[in-house]
């Protein structure tokens, strides 16, 4: 019996569970660029080009390793194409009598695949995705019986389980977490590292032409396009990050600087999520750099925590809580997403910068996502479903399993605090402390009211006042409400009135 081995666009790893279970003499690999996947959200042009080009390169890699591969390009599959229609065609053409696949990273696709045996009339062997370091069963066992989930405890378990940054039973350096040392403000540096930029080859150029012509109306600039699209180049990007940026990653993890799009961040999520880099290898290389004395412990630990902790943790939550998780809206926010999220056309310098670079790079680092675009949407009461669709569309690393918990849970507090112990809401003061955006802004970060006052300020107090009943009992928010009470009723009313005026004219800010 021969099988069709379906490899999805974010499964570009030779050690994929479906490939490990397949027989390269007998089975045929199917990879397909289909309209249903390319259009279910209006993906950034660079995201589409990255995924298609990396898929085409991976198909070549499989062929050169002896696999028989059917590869369908978008211009061959047609506008009605979906994964199931391409699998049906592949079964017919090869005479295969079964489908082998590694589970997808999105709920909607897993639900769809569950209907395939009946619809396609063949068995579908759907394997767990073991490229993650915590299996579904292990995460369920960890979560079972806990009233509150906290990433820090999950992360410690993962350190013990993998042995990463452990000295025997103890955390390396005697502490699990060096975050207290990781909140420095960045200064401009002429020697600021930059991510590796790869010149597009002929395959990528073809894809750029395709995306440029078929998706010209989508968000984002297509060129210059410099993402790595092969394992070899992604490894080179990792090595460059470890040598140039990781040493200062920890110190400046939370910093932002106007015009510095990457700072000391790795810009590796795009490669890890699509399968070009293996998360455990990435962590082990960072640990080795620390053990060799090339990188301080606060940087190695801070970086490994993001991958071993946050990345695994949000994925666990996604599968534990879907399908209802994506529709949660505990704070009852209903305002539409302001138009400037799609244009960057706003007078708020910090948002203009974050959205502008999102348009150009399909990338923003964590603090830009959390404390600029996410924070503003939260304060302004934007519908979390609209916020989720935006994040899913505009970032090259965005797949539901990782984007939904970050947006719905961590950023918008729409899950009522399952993931975050308090909302990531801040006034302009935080942005001013962690960045230099305010210097070039039309608004004044020191003012709360008046036409020149920073919109984040009034919106922050309005948000806290609006949700007082929910949040005032939260010990982590007690200080904020004490400050609010010290403002006095008249000042608060004035700030809230300004907040309401801002919301009424939100598209003009």
Ligand X SMILES: Cc1cc2nc3c(=O)[nH]c(=O)nc-3n(C[C@H](O)[C@H](O)[C@H](O)COP(=O)(O)OP(=O)(O)OC[C@H]3O[C@@H](n4cnc5c(N)ncnc54)[C@H](O)[C@@H]3O)c2cc1C
Smallest distance, ligand SF4 to C-beta of residue 493, A: 21
Residue 367 binds ligand SF4, judged by CB under 6 A: no
Secondary structure of 298-319 as H, E, C letters:
HHHHHHHHHHHHHHHHHHHHHH
Among 237, 350, 351, 398, binds ligand X (CB under 6 A): 398
Q: Judged by CB under 6 A, does residue 269 bind ligand X? A: yes
Q: What does 437 bind: ligand X, ligand SF4, none (CB cut-off 5 to 8 Å by kind)?
A: ligand SF4
Task: Give the contact letters, 455-474, x = binds to ligand SF4 (CB under 6 A), - = no.
Answer: xx------------------
What are the angstrom distances between the C-alpha of 315 and each of 11, 76, 133?
Answer: 16, 33, 10
Q: How far apart are CA 64 and CA 117, in angstroms?
A: 31
Question: Does the protein bind ligand X through residue 397 (CB under 6 A)?
Answer: yes
By three-state DSSP, how is residue 348 classified?
Answer: coil
Structure tokens at 292: 């060799």
Q: Among residues 171 and 405, whose Cβ is nearest to ligand X?
A: 405
Q: Which helix (H) or strand (E) holds 343?
A: helix 340-343
At residue 168, the 3 state secondary structure works out as coil
Question: Interface with ligand X includes 310 (CB under 6 A)?
Answer: yes
Under the binding rule (CB under 6 A), the answer on residue 104 touching ligand SF4 is no
Number of residues written out for the chain: 509
Query: Which residue, among 453, 454, 459, has the nearest Cα to 503 in the 3D structure?
Result: 459
What is the nearest approach in angstroms of ligand X to the Cβ of residue 96? 33
* Contact region with ligand X (CB under 6 A), list: 49-57, 90-98, 351-359, 369-377: 369-377
Nearest to 325 by CA among 136, 108, 37: 108
**402-421: which residues touch ligand X (CB under 6 A)?**
402-403, 406-407, 410-411
Nearer to ligand X by Cβ, of 172 and 277: the residue is: 277
* Least distance between ligand X and beta carbon 436 (Å): 19
Number of residues counted as binding ligand X (CB under 6 A): 28
Size of the site for ligand SF4 (CB under 6 A): 14
CB nearer to ligand SF4: pick between 30 and 441:
441
Binding ligand X (rule: CB under 6 A), the pick from 22, 31, 234, 314 is: 314
Considering the complex, what minimum distance in angstroms separates the CB of residue 91 from ligand X?
A: 32
| Sheet strands side by side (includes 3-6) | 68-72, 28-32, 3-6, 98-102, 124-127
Smallest distance, ligand X to C-beta of residue 245, A: 8
> Considering beta carbons, is residue 218 or 432 the nearer one to ligand SF4?
432
Q: Where are the alpha helices (DSSP H) in 255-330?
A: 269-274, 279-291, 297-304, 312-321
Does position 6 bind ligand X by CB under 6 A? no
User: Pick from 48, 134, 317, 431: which binds ligand SF4 (CB under 6 A)?
Assistant: 431
Q: How many degrees, rounded to 5, is the angle at CA 319 between CA 317 and CA 320?
A: 60
> Is residue 299 at the binding interface for ligand X, with CB under 6 A as the rule?
no
Q: Which of residues 316-355 bind ligand SF4 (CB under 6 A)?
A: 348-350
Name, in order, each residue with C-beta under 8 angstroms of 169's C-beta and a sequence gap of 6 or more. 160
Q: If we measure between CA atoms, which residue out of 434, 390, 383 comes closest to residue 412?
A: 383
| Smallest distance from ligand X to CB 72, Å | 26
CA angle 283, 359, 350 (to 5 degrees): 85
Beta bridge partners of 71: 31
User: What are the residues binding ligand X (CB under 6 A)?
Assistant: 265-269, 272-273, 303, 306-307, 310-311, 314, 365-366, 369-370, 374, 391, 395, 397-398, 402-403, 406-407, 410-411
User: What are the residues binding ligand SF4 (CB under 6 A)?
Assistant: 348-350, 428, 431-432, 437-438, 441, 443, 445, 454-456
């Amino acid at each position: 019996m021969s099988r069709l081995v379906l490899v999805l666009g974010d499964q570009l790893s030779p050690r994929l569970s479906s490939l490990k279970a397949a027989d390269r003499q007998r089975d045929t690999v199917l990879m397909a660029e289909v309209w249903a996947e390319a259009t279910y959200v209006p993906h950034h042009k660079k995201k589409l080009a990255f995924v298609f080009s990396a898929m085409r390169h991976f198909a070549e890699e499989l062929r050169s390793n002896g696999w028989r591969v059917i590869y369908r390009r978008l211009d061959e599959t047609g506008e009605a194409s979906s994964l199931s229609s391409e699998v049906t065609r592949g079964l017919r053409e090869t005479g295969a009598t079964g489908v082998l696949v590694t589970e997808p990273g999105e709920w909607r696709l897993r639900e769809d695949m569950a209907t395939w045996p009946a619809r396609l009339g063949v068995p579908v062997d759907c394997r767990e995705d073991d490229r993650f370091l915590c299996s579904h069963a292990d995460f369920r066992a960890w979560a079972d019986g806990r009233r509150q989930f906290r990433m820090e405890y999950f992360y410690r378990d993962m350190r013990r389980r993998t042995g990463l940054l452990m000295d025997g039973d103890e955390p390396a350096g005697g502490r699990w977490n060096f975050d207290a040392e990781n909140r420095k403000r960045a200064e401009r540096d002429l020697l600021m590292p930059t991510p590796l930029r790869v010149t597009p080859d002929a395959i990528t150029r073809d894809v750029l032409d395709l995306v440029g012509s078929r998706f010209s109306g989508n968000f984002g600039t297509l060129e210059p396009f410099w993402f790595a699209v092969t394992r070899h180049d992604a490894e080179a990007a990792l090595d460059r990050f470890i040598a140039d940026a990781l040493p200062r990653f920890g110190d400046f993890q939370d910093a932002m600087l106007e015009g510095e799009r990457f700072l000391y961040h790795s810009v590796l999520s795009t490669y890890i999520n699509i399968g070009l880099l293996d998360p455990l290898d990435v962590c082990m290389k960072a640990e080795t750099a620390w053990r060799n004395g090339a990188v301080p412990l606060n940087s190695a630990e801070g970086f490994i925590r993001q991958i071993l902790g946050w990345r695994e943790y949000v994925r666990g939550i996604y599968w534990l809580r879907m399908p209802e998780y994506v529709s949660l809206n505990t704070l009852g926010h209903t305002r539409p997403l302001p138009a400037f999220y799609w244009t960057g056309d706003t007078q708020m310098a910090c948002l203009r910068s974050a959205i502008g670079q999102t348009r150009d790079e399909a990338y923003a680092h964590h603090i830009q996502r959390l404390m600029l675009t996410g924070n503003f949407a939260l304060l302004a009461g934007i519908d979390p479903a609209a916020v989720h669709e935006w994040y899913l569309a505009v970032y090259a690393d965005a797949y539901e399993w990782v984007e939904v918990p970050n947006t719905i849970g961590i950023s918008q507090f729409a899950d009522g605090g399952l993931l975050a112990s308090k909302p990531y809401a801040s006034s302009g003061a935080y942005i001013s402390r962690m960045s230099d955006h305010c210097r070039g802004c039309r608004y004044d970060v020191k003012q709360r009211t008046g036409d020149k006052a920073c919109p984040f300020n009034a919106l922050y107090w309005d948000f806290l006042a609006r949700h007082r009943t929910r949040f005032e009992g939260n010990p982590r928010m007690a200080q904020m409400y004490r400050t609010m009470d010290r403002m006095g009723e008249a000042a608060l009313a004035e700030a809230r009135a300004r907040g309401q005026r801002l919301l009424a004219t939100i598209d003009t800010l």
